[in-house]
Amino acid sequence: MMRNVHRESLALTQHSEFLDLIERARAEFSAGRTIPMGEMKHRVLPKRAPNNRVQPKARKARRG
């Protein structure tokens, strides 16, 4: 019996499509085909509307 192994992680390590994806990613990395983190976030993360909420004012420190 294996201890401290999540079922999902074990299932992924047995899945051929997942293993192919990892192999391709490693080959791209080895070939230098990488992008900066900021660019990756720009490409992957959904576009969010700007935060137009009014921010609460900072409270004054209490003197005790």
- 40-49 confidence digits (pLDDT tens): 999 898 887 7
Average the pLDDT over 11-30 and give the result.
92
40 located within any domain = yes
37 located within any domain = yes
32 located within any domain = yes
Q: What is the dihedral of CA 56, 41, 15, 33, to 10 degrees?
A: -160
Residue 27: domain span: 7-44
Q: Any idea which residue has 């192999």 for tokens?
A: 23
16 located within any domain = yes
2 located within any domain = no
Domain count, the chain: 1
Does the pTM exceed 0.85? Answer: no
